[in-house]
Structure 1
Amino acid sequence: MATTGLPPAVDADVARVTEALHMITPRWNVRILLALNEPPQRYTQIANKLPYLHSGQLHPKIRSLCDAGLIERTEHSAHHVTYGLTQRGRQLLPVLGAIAAWAEEHLEQPEQSLSAIEQIEDSLTLLTRRQAPAILWVLKARHEVSARALARIVIPDGYWTSIYPPLRQLMDDGLVVTAGKGQPYRLSPGGDGLGHVFGALSMWAAGRPMDHAARHPLWGRLDRRAMTAPGTWVSHPSRLPVPSARPAPAVQTQPAHRPAWQNGDLFSHATAPRPIPALLAGGVRR
């Protein structure tokens, strides 16, 4: 059933990406997935990497990620159980890398540097705001649009002024801008820069290779002056079998931005309490 006024295939694409975001955004999920980016480990090994999580917090998180198909539990014997990423879980790691790269380029930079994990967590908080994916989708497609027209597409069954709270939140976050009261809304440079992130999320959610992200009919194209038909882009169930081959890095449609982190650096700041730094002006707000 459609949840927006977008074409059915586009509506399904937005729904898949929204589901994927809500799967990985809950607190600690990213840290657990990255802690498992190694050969399968015992529960105690995972717990030692995440000392700020009590067993009562860690075990339910691992179980939910197993249910989501991102982690697999292997019982070798009654007293020997290991946990590791599934193939689908491993294919999510390049998506997290794309999110970290976007954060490094577009988020406000605090006085004290943050780990890649914290960059990803801050970005996911912005992208899972209420109605955020659908609003960003429409603004990417239409270039600019009035609040009333945006409401007709994003919340076709609701009263049109209900679009203002999520729209103002995205403006406060720095992802959407407008020239003033009564003027149309458009993506900020940071919002427009989400193309690679949403393209990667869309491909992962549809079970497609990551190198197809640049072919996405909306987020992979440079010209966004008008909404076009989805062409051969068709709806897929959210949990299709994934290809057996490891996906290649996504093709960049903009100048390459190399993240300043490597897998071995992800936990460089993980165990310390996170400070609340003073933020500098400019960039998308955290």
Structure 2
Amino acid sequence: MATTGLPRTTLNDLSRVTETVEMLAPRWSVWALMTISSKPLRYAEIKSHLPWLRDGQLHPRLRSLTDAGVVERTEYTPRHVTYGLTARGAELSPVLTVIAAWGDAHLEKDLVRNKTTGEMEPERIPAAQNVEDALTLISSRHATPILWTLKARGAASAKTLADEAMPGYGLPAVYKPLDRLVADGLVEATGNGDFRLSANGQALAPVFQAVSAWAGGRPLAGAGTHPLWGQSPAPSQARSAPWATTQSRLPAPTAPAAPATTPALATTHPASTAWKSSDLFSHQIPARPISPAGGPRR
């Protein structure tokens, strides 16, 4: 993957970020990581936390995360094997916190009735689901290079995006990923034929800052100084986005859920985060994503 319109150092950064997003994006990977974030668990223990997963779904996730160096498989005996986070895997926990916070703030939620107060309020989404939903948007093919090119340029035509974010593919190839980013609410048309990041797209800055810092082996304390995503948007782009009200990909909870504990976005984070069970399992089994019209989607 390469883009021709960005400096070489930014290209290297983008390549590492894209690889990290692709490593985390396969469905259930984040759920597996967060399940073993507190302590190593045996396979049967992981399976008991994720009962809807078949062996054919969980085994590949654990194997790929182990190959990526974020999960460690420890064999004590042939019948006693545990899976836990490596040091690099533990460093991912605050990154997942940032991604979860973006998903909680910028992805649509259904309104559900609070059984205690009777008031309608946004449904509570598990942290792992917020992470997975956010990654779904930025991990689609060419999405991240397009977002980075628009961040660097401020606004660009489809032709410019094809040349700089997708060199070698030609102009027709850019429209599918670009249309998807527009439908997802991360990119918007300017009205004069160009495209720019929407307010929700600009708000991805902490996500890309955190992923970039982890991928480059840098402390998250300095993530906010990222040379590209640390820049403020132009005033014309810093507009509030409407709250999306399309159908969520998750069913409404059947019982009152524990209050969300996702921390606010910040440029400094703890070295690791131990996710509580309520962060993971406060909802029913997640469904596949749907494609509502407009707005960031689940």
Whether TM exceeds 0.5 here: the answer is yes
Distance 2:98 2:43 in 1: 28
Once the two structures are TM-superposed, the CA of residue 223 in structure 1 deviates from its matched residue by 5.3
- 2:71–2:83 Cα contact (<8 Å) kept: yes
Aligned counterpart, 2:65: 65
- 2:37–2:275 Cα contact (<8 Å) kept: no
Aligned counterpart, 1:265: 278
Distance 1:165 1:280 in 2: 16
- Residue 28 of structure 2 corresponds to residue 28 of structure 1: yes
Once the two structures are TM-superposed, the CA of residue 76 in structure 1 deviates from its matched residue by 2.3
- Residue 222 of structure 2 corresponds to residue 212 of structure 1: yes
Q: Given the two structures, how large is their TM-score scaled by the length of structure 1?
A: 0.80
Matching residue within 164, 182, 193 for 2:175: 164
Distance 1:145 1:283 in 2: 21
- 2:183–2:293 Cα contact (<8 Å) kept: no
* Partner amino acid, structure 2, of 1:109: K
- 2:206–2:267 Cα contact (<8 Å) kept: yes
Structure 1 residues 164 and 56 mapped into 2: Cα distance closer, same or farther (>3 Å)?
Answer: closer
Counterparts of 1:88-127 in structure 2, within 5 Å, are 88-112=88-112, 113=123, 114-127=125-138
Paired-residue identity, %: 46
Distance 1:63 1:276 in 2: 23
Q: Secondary structure at the match of 1:81?
A: strand
Aligned counterpart, 1:136: 147
* Partner amino acid, structure 1, of 2:201: G
Task: Give unpaired runs (5+ residues) of structure 2.
Answer: 113-122, 236-263, 269-273
Aligned counterpart, 2:157: 146
* Partner amino acid, structure 2, of 1:66: T
Once the two structures are TM-superposed, the CA of residue 162 in structure 1 deviates from its matched residue by 2.0
- Residue 231 of structure 2 corresponds to residue 221 of structure 1: yes
- 1:211–1:250 Cα contact (<8 Å) kept: no
Distance 1:281 1:135 in 2: 21
Structure 1 residues 193 and 273 mapped into 2: Cα distance closer, same or farther (>3 Å)?
Answer: same
Q: Secondary structure at the match of 1:266?
A: helix
Matching residue within 169, 184, 197 for 1:187: 197
Aligned counterpart, 2:76: 76
- 1:17–1:202 Cα contact (<8 Å) kept: yes
Aligned counterpart, 1:43: 43
Distance 1:36 1:220 in 2: 32
Let me know the Cα RMSD of the aligned residues: 2.8
* Partner amino acid, structure 1, of 2:216: A
Deviations 1:78-122 (A, max 9, x none): 432221100111111111111111112111222352222221111
- 2:2–2:166 Cα contact (<8 Å) kept: no
- 1:200–1:250 Cα contact (<8 Å) kept: no
* Partner amino acid, structure 1, of 2:200: G
Distance 2:59 2:169 in 1: 39
Moved more, 33-42 or 154-163: 154-163
* Partner amino acid, structure 2, of 1:177: E
- 1:25–1:125 Cα contact (<8 Å) kept: yes
Once the two structures are TM-superposed, the CA of residue 277 in structure 1 deviates from its matched residue by 11
Distance 1:166 1:74 in 2: 41
- 2:138–2:144 Cα contact (<8 Å) kept: yes
Aligned counterpart, 2:209: 199
* Partner amino acid, structure 2, of 1:99: I
Structure 1 residues 273 and 20 mapped into 2: Cα distance closer, same or farther (>3 Å)?
Answer: same
Q: Secondary structure at the match of 1:219?
A: coil
Distance 2:175 2:289 in 1: 30
Deviations 1:201-251 (A, max 9, x none): 1111111111121111011122569xxxxxxxxxxxxxxxxxxxxxxx985
Once the two structures are TM-superposed, the CA of residue 196 in structure 1 deviates from its matched residue by 0.2
Aligned counterpart, 1:245: none
* Partner amino acid, structure 2, of 1:44: A
Once the two structures are TM-superposed, the CA of residue 275 in structure 1 deviates from its matched residue by 6.0
